[in-house]
Amino acid sequence: MKATTICCVRRGGDVAIAGDGQVTLGDTVIKHGARKIRSMRDGKILAGFAGSSADAMNLFERFETKLDEHSGHLTRAAVALAKDWRTERALQKLEAMMIVADHEISLMISGTGDVLEPDEGVVAIGSGGTYARAAATALLRHSDISPEDIARQSMQIASEICIYTNDQIKVLTLRANA
């Protein structure tokens, strides 16, 4: 997926999600400061997307609907969205992926029906996702810095490697004691 990079890092009870701001159309940069992450449910859930902008907006709306249907239960809402995404004809053509997180769990959701929880506290998607994930995993294992700082530094590293990821990084954080 040549679209963006989203990285989510969890340590202790804190979780941070970061996204770059680049929007491309083919090999042309259209926008540098797009916001691809957002908080939901009064700041209790974080979400980020990689893929087509219109498709991602559709998925954000549908995910919020699923959260309402499942009383804010993240895993149930994610599974319901993945099921619809896999089975509904209109959704099957969407080209995007999502990461969602709350105080307890981080999940990656894909159109193939995957709802995956990472083994470690890191999940990343998009064109620079593997770079960001590798950097975040190393920082998580070998430093004591916050999830927010790990996510930001990992995205910076990804932006230096992936041409579809820029350094206009936005980060949202859920704190354990907030």
Check if 28 is active-site.
Answer: no
Phi and psi dihedrals of 83, rounded to 5? -65, -50
Given the residues 4, 5, 137, 165, select the one marked as catalytic: 4
- Taking the C-alpha atoms of residue 43 and residue 45, their distance in angstroms, rounded to an integer, is 6
Distances (CA, A) of 84 to 23, 102, 113: 27, 21, 8
Residues 6+ positions from 138 with CB-CB distance below 8 Å: none
**Residues acting as catalytic residues:** 4
